[in-house]
């Protein structure tokens, strides 16, 4: 065994033991549930192996020896030999293993032995007792329609949402939530933990709902409140506080991949989204006003198609679609929109079907492009609409004045450059024609006396247009066809044969329709080289143009001519001719310096908007294209490889009104179809929307979701242990009018939520990961509540709601809540990555959580934290009489909302007495250093 | 089975299993790291926050290379002026070439290299005078003359070279490597991007971790600065001395121990306590590692003057301390993008780094580090063998530079199991397009991962319902580049 084999061997032992142990752990909960790792193993190694090597002969079409290998049951049952195909846990006696090893009566597959790795995989799989997902009882290379049927039938998340009855339980249960939880716990002899103490409870609820700590006096009054309603009143008070919206909007902004910039700024562009904040404020407001979640979805996808109040603030909701990264390629930008809508709202990974049918879920590529088409048929208007009242606008006179000036500059710029372009084209007919005729002979061209254009001044856009235009009109019998005939002559025989051809035309006018003026010129001054045709044609165009001008440039120009001149005019003044490039098409013909200048002018408007006065707001809308484009499938995701045209409509998998999953579901009729799509998603018929949302809300309360992959409810997502609870919450959520606040109450008023977070050794043994919720999970504050809490306890927190985003990390440091911090996706503060903030380029429902020393560096060394320490100490009242313990107690009240223990007081006293003295103004004083270390404790950052 | 039975009696979570394993992830291997938006990754981040995600991990198989220094000549160095000698091009100076390929801008006739080439080492590989110091090491270097990429533009090519995907947001190579292997020094970030003066084109996207955890993102250090406060965020404290901070941490520890006592053993609490001690050490280590003045004079002399020399020396100091992946960018923007005045500019740029690169290779070898350190040199693409024609607004009417060229270019590798003195693949006789044994960027990535001990198809991360990998659906390991 060489070293590589050894390491593989070790790795395998590692995996095998983990898998084996997890299985055993799971069996204490449910006999038939395999660990996710085992199912992954099946999906990654076994399913492909079976479909690739076995199913052709042992599947639904053909079952040799009556053996089928497309379901776990079939394998266990075996075929005509009478023996089981496999014996769970016993590879050596399993028929399929013997067959692939070529060690028994059969040698399979018949034509080729499997690789050693594949055989090892199969052995491992039988050892694991053939893990197989319940959601795909039978596997096969099924048609997509069959898969749709199967997934609809079998996968838990695609079943209609029905409210399950709360199960009977032994313990006294206050709420339905508790009954679902207790039923599972009691089934293995466990129970909920006792209720957490009052102080813990108020901290937990306050952080959960507002992202801030309670004050000492709030804690005290709650602890001393004997009313049986004290806790529910607390929850109501917190839900009513404006800080609730700020906290929960931040969770939503993770899903919405919110950022204040568009990404990479090409050239001179300004990458700021000056009005992204209006979307953020809309979300805060939506949570605070408990906007029904279905309406929240409709507004975010199609506010512009709804009746909205006069101030148009609702339009800001469309930021959900538009605040994503602006990629250099349009398909990527649209893909991101499809992703945020499908994964973000439904937990369906539709974007996986961009290049090929989804590998796991029954989502064909055409369904992806159906949704793609919905978004591709929209655009962001040049000027975003103003929102807010008219009275407000009156205050911004100077802003609008300057804006108009900046806009006028662009108009003037375009006009003057367009004018210059037209003149350039008019003056250089022969030059461009020469370049079209002899593109490979640049040096030769420059030597021609009639050429005036220097290589550096060639406009590639114009040249391309000439080239395309002449190519498209190759059959014009007057000018272009004869020219092509001449150009077809071999170079070295040109002079002679051209003369012959010209002669022929002159002598046989019935055989050609060449323009007589052209023919005259060819005769009077016969071309010696091909390139001279450019001179001759150029002269014809110039003369015609001059003549038109001299006659007053009347429109339409072609109509001003007759006879042979009209033939020339017909080419020169054709609407698609380079000589007629109109102002509205001018941008396409800009050369680099012009584009750069335009970018600068446009960037000035972005800057003006970014620096616009507070209160001025615009909505980041998108608008349906006037001309709706048909959408082709992009084969393998390549936009240049067109497949079939697909209509705009919903995914088949979730359209039960289309029973076969074929073409019976309705096509979106209202413009781009955003509103139709919104209605499909924000519907009680949609099996995913409500489940996905309640799962995420649960996750934020318990620090762990009921369904582990909160943005992927596809078939690889196993049925959660608490499926009934999830279904109950989803059904109740819909019945309560999609009220998120009501959902918080359902969860928070349960005993399950209120229980203590302490470890219980009896429970650890049965359910080490607390899947069954025998305790509350302890959790660490994310960055936003951590920073906000430091500001809160130091008395510095600025509670202003809404407004433009602010730079948080440049002195003088802002005291705004972290949600108002500017998020530049192109230059995300390192701190944001260090503290695991959501990546603003991808919809994120669940943040990764790591513990790394750079987080501690921020707490120990940052200007922000040391400033809060100074403020804390500045705020200590004068305790000159009572001294150190009183001061310490005050700090404990401010920071932890409790009294210190005598042990803690002693540690504090020692620190104050014996720390190194202050060395100067810049140096933190001893008390300040102590306050800082109190902010660094686990107690400050963890919520029980 | 016996062992399983025993474990069954106790706590059975992955967490406790891993604690038992002692070496933690070393045995668990990558299997445990493959995660979803939370799913298996949670094995590392969520359930076991005590596990530092940068802890060293075993690779698929033992690779020769343990760490990487990527010398990134951003902007695109000309291969025909450096490591791809083309006598035929010299012959045809000023002539129209029989072949032509679309690049970003208009190009004209052949432009001979203005530099002298000569052969170096026993391998006799041709190198131009621009890299005469580097050339002293040709017998340790494998030159890939047949690199190719997809498009002739900086932005997509930078992303392709750095993240394996030119359009979408994907993790960078350094992020994948630190995700796969962790880092050997917990007091420093595992992946560091040195770039003097600010950011290159595409900014921090070049070292992004995308959907991988933020801890695997490259830490940018602006090596233009020399004081430590400006080099690493929050690594120093302007208002608390080291001694005072130690006093703070001691009291902090006492308070945290009381808290821990009252809350029972919780790995999450313990991990956070640990992270403060790590942070305290990181301050010293980081301060120390960036302070090149600690080097003896003869070393400083060998690397030479200037910011590039200093940052290449810093790169050596970083990997010497176990940092996994160091990328050294030549400078802010795109310094090697010489559309005009190529002769002067390439001479200046090579002059800034050649001597230091030579010194680095010598230095690594003397310290016995070269065998384990993969050194890579190259840009996002190369340049055309033909002259770039003037274009409005682009090159001031000068006709003495080269356009971008993704059809063929050169990357070289040394150390870390790379076969020395080798030339692999070639461009056509003029250096325009890779014709023999073409190596795509995906192939380069597959090979780099292989040298580090990974099967590129198996280093995956599940995100949004899909298993992603650096090489997407492509990539072939170039075994000819690997020493026996």
User: How close is the nearest chain B Cα to the Cα of A31, in Å?
Assistant: 15
Name the least confident of A12-21, A91-100, A909-918, B88-97.
Answer: A12-21
Neighbour count for residue A4 (Cβ, 10 Å): 13
Whether residue A856 is predicted with pLDDT greater than 60 in this model: the reply is yes
* Structure confidence at residue A872 as a pLDDT band (50, 70, 90): very high
Name the least confident of A121-125, B46-50, B470-474.
Answer: B46-50
CA A823 – CA B245 distance, rounded (Å): 32
Whether residue B44 is predicted with pLDDT greater than 70 in this model: the reply is no
Query: Given this model, what pLDDT does residue A29 score?
Result: 39
> What residues pair up with B326 in beta bridges, in sequence order?
B69, B192
Whether residue B255 is predicted with pLDDT greater than 60 in this model: the reply is yes
Name the least confident of A111-115, A558-562, A775-779, B92-96.
Answer: A111-115
Helix spans in A196-292 (H): 198-210, 216-223, 230-240, 242-255, 276-288
* Dihedral sign from CA coordinates of B380, B381, B383, B389: negative
Helix spans in B35-153 (H): 42-45, 87-91
User: Any chain B CB within 8 A of the CB of A639?
Assistant: no
Query: Given this model, what pLDDT does residue A66 score?
Result: 85
Query: Given this model, what pLDDT does residue B51 score?
Result: 59
Identify which of A39, A40, A60 has the alpha carbon closest to the alpha carbon of residue A51.
Answer: A60
DSSP class of residue A46 equals I
Whether residue A589 is predicted with pLDDT greater than 70 in this model: the reply is yes
Average confidence (pLDDT) over B220-248: 89
Better-predicted residue by pLDDT, B186 or A607:
A607
Better-predicted residue by pLDDT, A750 or B45:
A750
CA atoms within 13 A on the CB side of B399: 13
Average confidence (pLDDT) over A111-135: 86
Query: Given this model, what pLDDT does residue B271 score?
Result: 85
* Structure confidence at residue A261 as a pLDDT band (50, 70, 90): very high
* Structure confidence at residue A44 as a pLDDT band (50, 70, 90): confident
- Is B279–A22 a contact, with Cβ atoms under 8 angstroms apart? no
- Is A858–B238 a contact, with Cβ atoms under 8 angstroms apart? no
Interval A510-533: pLDDT, tens:
888 999 999 999 999 889 888 889
Whether residue A881 is predicted with pLDDT greater than 80 in this model: the reply is no
Q: Which residues, 6 or more positions from A833, have their beta carbon under 8 angstroms from its beta carbon?
A: B209, B214, B215, B217
DSSP class per residue in A337-392: HHHHHHHHHH---GGGGSSSS-SSSS--HHHHHHHHHHHHTEE--SSPPEES-HHH
Average confidence (pLDDT) over B462-477: 90
Average confidence (pLDDT) over A133-160: 83
Helix axes A516-524, A532-550, angle to 10 degrees: 130
* 317-376 of A, contacting B, C-beta below 8 A: 325, 327-329, 332, 335, 339, 343, 349, 351-352, 358-361
Q: Is A842 helix (H, G, I), strand (E, B) or coil?
A: coil
Q: Are B53 and B274 in contact (CB under 8 A)?
A: no
Average confidence (pLDDT) over A455-481: 88
Average confidence (pLDDT) over A7-28: 40
Query: Given this model, what pLDDT does residue B26 score?
Result: 29
Chain B positions in Cβ-Cβ contact with residue A328 (cut-off 8 Å)? 155-156, 167
Whether residue A1 is predicted with pLDDT greater than 70 in this model: the reply is no
Interval A500-510: pLDDT, tens:
999 999 999 88
CA A730 – CA A164 distance, rounded (Å): 10
DSSP class of residue A638 equals -
Average confidence (pLDDT) over A736-752: 98
Query: Given this model, what pLDDT does residue A338 score?
Result: 98
Interval B290-317: pLDDT, tens:
999 999 999 999 999 999 999 999 999 9
Query: Given this model, what pLDDT does residue B397 score?
Result: 67
Interval A348-383: pLDDT, tens:
999 999 988 887 899 999 999 999 999 999 999 999
User: How close is the nearest chain B Cα to the Cα of A35, in Å?
Assistant: 11
- Is A854–B234 a contact, with Cβ atoms under 8 angstroms apart? yes
* Structure confidence at residue A822 as a pLDDT band (50, 70, 90): very high
Query: Given this model, what pLDDT does residue A624 score?
Result: 97
CA A604: distance to chain centroid? Answer: 28
Interval A755-803: pLDDT, tens:
999 989 889 888 988 999 999 999 999 999 999 999 999 999 999 999 9
Whether residue A221 is predicted with pLDDT greater than 70 in this model: the reply is yes
Average confidence (pLDDT) over A931-941: 98
Identify which of A303, A297, A373 has the alpha carbon closest to the alpha carbon of residue A341.
Answer: A297
Give percent of chain A above pLDDT 90: 64
CA A443 – CA A31 distance, rounded (Å): 82
Complex-level ipTM? 0.81
Interval B405-435: pLDDT, tens:
999 999 999 999 999 999 999 999 999 999 9
Query: Given this model, what pLDDT does residue B49 score?
Result: 42
Choose, out of A938, A939, A941, A943, the residue to mutate when testing the contact with B (most B CBs < 10 Å).
A938
Whether residue A446 is predicted with pLDDT greater than 70 in this model: the reply is no
Whether residue B38 is predicted with pLDDT greater than 80 in this model: the reply is no
* Structure confidence at residue A392 as a pLDDT band (50, 70, 90): low
Query: Given this model, what pLDDT does residue A3 score?
Result: 43
Which of B38, B244, B268 comes nearest A846 by C-beta?
B38
Better-predicted residue by pLDDT, A669 or A441:
A669
Chain A positions in Cβ-Cβ contact with residue B248 (cut-off 8 Å)? 860, 929-930, 932-933, 936
Query: Given this model, what pLDDT does residue A440 score?
Result: 61
Answer whether the bond into residue A109 is a cis peptide, omega within 30°. yes
Interval B3-12: pLDDT, tens:
333 333 222 2
* Structure confidence at residue B396 as a pLDDT band (50, 70, 90): low
Question: And the tokens for A831?
Answer: 């701190």
Nearest residue of A to residue B61 by CA position? A4
Name the least confident of A44-58, A437-451, A877-891.
Answer: A437-451
Question: And the tokens for B430?
Answer: 């003029």
Query: Given this model, what pLDDT does residue A445 score?
Result: 61
- Is B34–A40 a contact, with Cβ atoms under 8 angstroms apart? yes
* 42-61 of A, contacting B, C-beta below 8 A: 44
Identify which of A80-94, A603-617, A625-639, A678-692 has the greatest average pLDDT.
A678-692
- Is B167–A328 a contact, with Cβ atoms under 8 angstroms apart? yes
Pairs of residues, one from chain A and one from chain B, whose beta carbons lie less than 8 Å apart = 319
* Dihedral sign from CA coordinates of A33, A37, A42, A48: positive
- Is A264–B203 a contact, with Cβ atoms under 8 angstroms apart? yes
Query: Given this model, what pLDDT does residue A206 score?
Result: 98
Which of B46, B202, B397 comes nearest A456 by C-beta?
B397
Which of B96, B213, B259 comes nearest A850 by C-beta?
B213
CA B168 – CA B172 distance, rounded (Å): 12
Q: Are B224 and B307 in contact (CB under 8 A)?
A: yes
Whether residue A147 is predicted with pLDDT greater than 90 in this model: the reply is no
Between the CA of residue A491 and those of A487, A495, A497, A503, B236, what are the distances in Å? 8, 8, 10, 19, 75
Question: And the tokens for A830?
Answer: 């390192």
pTM of the predicted model as reported, rounded to 2 decimal places: 0.83
- Is A3–B61 a contact, with Cβ atoms under 8 angstroms apart? yes
- Is A712–B58 a contact, with Cβ atoms under 8 angstroms apart? no
CA B134: distance to chain centroid? Answer: 19
Chain B positions in Cβ-Cβ contact with residue A593 (cut-off 8 Å)? 392-393
User: How close is the nearest chain A Cα to the Cα of B127, in Å?
Assistant: 33
Identify which of A353-362, A735-744, B50-59 has the greatest average pLDDT.
A735-744
* Averaged pLDDT score across all residues of chain A: 90
Q: Is A918 helix (H, G, I), strand (E, B) or coil?
A: coil
Whether residue B394 is predicted with pLDDT greater than 80 in this model: the reply is no
Query: Given this model, what pLDDT does residue B274 score?
Result: 86
Residue A589 phi/psi, 5° resolution? -100, 5
CA B192 – CA B175 distance, rounded (Å): 10
CA B347: distance to chain centroid? Answer: 24
Query: Given this model, what pLDDT does residue A182 score?
Result: 96
User: How close is the nearest chain A Cα to the Cα of B137, in Å?
Assistant: 30
Q: Are B308 and B196 in contact (CB under 8 A)?
A: yes
Query: Given this model, what pLDDT does residue A18 score?
Result: 40
């Amino acid at each position: 065994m060489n070293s590589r084999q050894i390491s593989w061997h070790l790795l395998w032992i590692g995996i095998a033991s983990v898998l084996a142990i997890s299985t055993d752990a799971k069996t204490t909960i449910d006999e038939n549930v395999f660990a996710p790792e085992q199912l992954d193993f099946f999906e990654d190694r076994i399913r492909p192996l079976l479909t690739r090597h076995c199913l052709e002969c042992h599947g639904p079409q053909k079952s040799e020896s009556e053996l089928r290998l497309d379901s776990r049951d079939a394998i266990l049952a075996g075929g005509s030999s009478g023996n089981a195909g496999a014996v769970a846990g016993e590879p050596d006696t399993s028929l399929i293993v013997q067959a692939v090893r070529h060690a028994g009566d059969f040698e399979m597959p018949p034509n080729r032995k499997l690789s050693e790795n594949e055989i090892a995989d199969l052995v491992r799989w039988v050892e694991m007792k053939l893990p197989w997902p319940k959601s795909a009882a039978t596997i096969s290379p099924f048609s997509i329609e069959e898969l749709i049927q199967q997934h609809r039938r079998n996968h838990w998340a695609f079943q209609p949402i029905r409210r399950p009855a709360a199960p009977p339980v032994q313990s006294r249960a206050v709420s339905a939530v508790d009954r679902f939880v207790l039923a599972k716990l009691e089934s293995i002899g466990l129970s909920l933990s006792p209720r957490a103490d009052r102080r813990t409870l108020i901290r937990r609820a306050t952080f959960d709902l507002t992202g801030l700590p309670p004050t000492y006096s709030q804690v005290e009054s709650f602890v001393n409140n004997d009313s049986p309603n004290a806790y529910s009143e607390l929850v109501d008070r917190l839900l009513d506080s404006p800080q609730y919206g700020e906290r929960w909007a931040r969770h939503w902004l993770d899903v919405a991949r919110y950022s204040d910039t568009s990404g990479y700024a090409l050239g001179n562009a300004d990458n700021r989204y000056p009005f992204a904040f209006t979307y953020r404020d809309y979300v805060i407001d939506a949570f605070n006003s408990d906007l029904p979640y279905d309406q929240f979805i409709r507004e975010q996808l199609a506010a512009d198609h709804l009746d909205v109040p006069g101030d148009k603030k609702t339009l800001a909701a469309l930021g959900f679609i538009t605040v994503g990264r602006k990629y250099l390629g349009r398909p990527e930008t649209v893909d991101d929109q499809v992703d945020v809508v499908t994964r973000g709202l439904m937990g369906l990974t539709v974007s996986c079907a961009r290049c090929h049918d989804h590998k796991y879920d029954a989502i064909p590529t055409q369904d992806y492009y159906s949704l793609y088409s919905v978004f591709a048929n929209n655009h962001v208007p040049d000027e975003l609409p103003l929102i807010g009242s008219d009275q407000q606008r009156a205050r911004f006179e100077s802003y609008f004045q300057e804006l108009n000036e900046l806009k006028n500059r662009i108009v003037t710029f375009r006009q003057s450059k367009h004018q210059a372009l037209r003149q350039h084209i008019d003056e250089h007919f022969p030059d461009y024609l020469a370049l079209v005729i002899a593109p490979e002979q640049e040096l030769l061209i420059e030597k021609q006396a009639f050429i005036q254009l220097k290589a550096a001044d060639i406009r590639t856009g114009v040249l391309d247009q000439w080239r395309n235009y002449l190519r498209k009109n190759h059959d014009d019998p007057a000018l272009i066809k004869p020219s092509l005939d001449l150009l077809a002559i071999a170079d070295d025989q040109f002079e002679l044969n051209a003369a012959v051809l010209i002669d022929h035309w002159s002598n046989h006018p019935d055989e050609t329709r060449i323009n007589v003026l052209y023919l005259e010129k060819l005769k009077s001054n016969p071309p010696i080289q091909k390139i001279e045709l450019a001179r001759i044609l150029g002269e014809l165009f110039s003369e015609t143009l001059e003549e038109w001008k001299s006659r007053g440039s009347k429109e339409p120009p072609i109509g001003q001519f007759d006879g042979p001149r009209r033939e020339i005019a017909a080419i020169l003044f054709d609407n698609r001719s380079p000589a007629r490039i109109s102002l509205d098409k001018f941008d396409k013909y800009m050369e680099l310096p012009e584009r750069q200048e335009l970018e600068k002018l446009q960037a000035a408007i972005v800057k003006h908007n970014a620096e616009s006065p507070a209160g001025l707001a615009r909505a980041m809308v998108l608008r349906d294209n006037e001309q709706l484009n048909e959408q082709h499938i992009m084969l393998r995701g390549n936009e240049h490889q067109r497949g079939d045209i697909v209509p705009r409509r919903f995914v088949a998998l979730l359209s039960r009104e289309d029973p076969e999953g074929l073409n019976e579901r309705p096509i979106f009729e209202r413009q781009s179809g955003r509103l139709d799509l919104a209605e499909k998603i924000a519907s009680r018929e949609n099996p995913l929307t409500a489940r996905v949302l309640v799962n995420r809300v649960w996750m934020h309360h318990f620090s762990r979701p009921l369904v582990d992959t909160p943005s992927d409810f596809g078939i690889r997502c196993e049925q959660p242990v608490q499926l009934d609870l999830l279904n109950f919450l989803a059904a109740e959520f819909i019945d309560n009018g999609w009220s998120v606040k009501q959902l918080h109450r359902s969860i928070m008023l349960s005993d399950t939520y209120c229980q203590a977070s302490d470890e219980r050794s009896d429970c650890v043994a049965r359910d080490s990961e607390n899947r069954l919720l025998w305790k509350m999970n302890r959790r660490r504050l994310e960055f936003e509540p951590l920073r906000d809490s430091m500001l809160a306890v130091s008395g510095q927190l600025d509670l202003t709601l809404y407004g433009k985003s602010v730079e948080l990390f440049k002195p003088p440091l802002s005291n705004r809540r972290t949600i108002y911090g500017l998020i530049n996706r192109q230059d995300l503060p390192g701190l944001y990555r260090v503290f695991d903030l959501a990546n603003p380029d991808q919809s994120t429902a669940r943040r990764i959580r790591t513990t790394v020393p750079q987080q501690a560096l921020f707490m120990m060394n940052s200007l922000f934290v040391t400033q809060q320490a100074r403020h804390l100490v500045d705020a200590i009242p004068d305790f000159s009489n009572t001294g150190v313990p009183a001061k310490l107690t005050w700090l404990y009240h401010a920071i932890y909302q409790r009294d210190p223990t005598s042990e803690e007081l002693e540690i504090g006293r020692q620190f104050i007495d014996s720390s190194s003295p202050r060395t100067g103004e810049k140096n933190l004083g001893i008390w300040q250093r102590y306050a800082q270390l109190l902010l660094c404790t686990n107690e400050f950052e963890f919520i029980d | 089975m016996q062992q399983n039975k025993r474990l069954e009696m106790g706590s059975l979570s992955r967490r406790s299993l891993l604690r038992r394993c002692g070496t933690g992830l070393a045995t668990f291997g990558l299997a445990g790291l493959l995660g979803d938006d939370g799913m298996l990754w949670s094995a590392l981040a969520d359930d076991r926050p005590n596990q530092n995600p940068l802890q060293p991990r075993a690779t698929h198989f033992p690779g020769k290379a343990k760490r990487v220094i990527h010398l990134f000549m951003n902007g695109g160095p000309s291969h025909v002026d450096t490591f791809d000698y083309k006598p035929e091009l010299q012959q045809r100076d000023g002539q129209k070439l029989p072949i032509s390929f679309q690049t970003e801008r208009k190009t004209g006739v052949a432009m001979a290299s203005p530099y002298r080439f000569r052969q170096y080492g026993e391998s006799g590989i041709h190198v131009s005078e621009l890299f005469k110091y580097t050339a002293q090491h040709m017998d340790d270097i494998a030159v890939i003359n047949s690199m190719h990429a997809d498009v002739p533009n900086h932005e997509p090519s930078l992303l392709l070279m750095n993240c394996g995907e030119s359009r979408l947001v994907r993790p960078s190579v350094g992020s994948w490597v630190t995700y796969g292997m962790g880092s050997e020094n917990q007091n420093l970030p595992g992946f560091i991007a040195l770039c003097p003066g600010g950011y290159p084109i595409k900014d921090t996207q070049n070292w992004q971790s995308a959907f991988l955890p933020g801890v695997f993102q490259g830490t940018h250090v602006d090596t233009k600065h020399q004081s430590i406060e400006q080099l690493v965020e929050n690594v120093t404290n302007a208002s608390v001395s080291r001694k005072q901070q130690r006093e703070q941490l001691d009291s902090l520890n006492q308070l945290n121990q009381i808290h821990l006592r009252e809350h029972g053993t919780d790995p999450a609490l313990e991990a956070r306590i640990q992270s403060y001690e790590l942070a305290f050490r990181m301050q010293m280590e980081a301060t120390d590692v960036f302070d090149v003045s600690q080097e003896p004079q003869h070393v400083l002399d060998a690397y030479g003057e200037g910011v590039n020399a200093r940052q290449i020396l810093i790169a050596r100091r970083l990997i010497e301390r176990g940092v996994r992946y160091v990328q050294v960018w030549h400078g802010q923007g795109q310094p090697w993008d010489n559309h005009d005045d190529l002769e002067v500019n390439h001479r200046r740029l090579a002059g800034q780094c050649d001597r230091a690169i030579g010194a680095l290779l010598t230095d690594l070898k003397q310290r016995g580090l070269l065998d384990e350190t993969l050194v890579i040199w190259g840009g996002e693409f190369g340049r055309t063998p033909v002259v770039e024609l003037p274009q409005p607004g682009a090159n001031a009417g000068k006709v003495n530079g080269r356009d971008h060229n993704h059809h063929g270019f050169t990357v070289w590798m040394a150390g870390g199991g790379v076969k020395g003195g080798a030339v692999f693949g070639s461009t056509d006789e003029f250096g325009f397009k890779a014709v023999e044994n073409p190596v795509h960027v995906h192939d380069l990535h597959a090979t780099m991962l292989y040298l580090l001990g990974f099967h590129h198809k198996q280093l995956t991360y599940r995100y949004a319902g899909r298993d992603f990998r650096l090489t997407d659906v492509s990539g072939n390991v170039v075994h000819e580049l690997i020493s026996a």
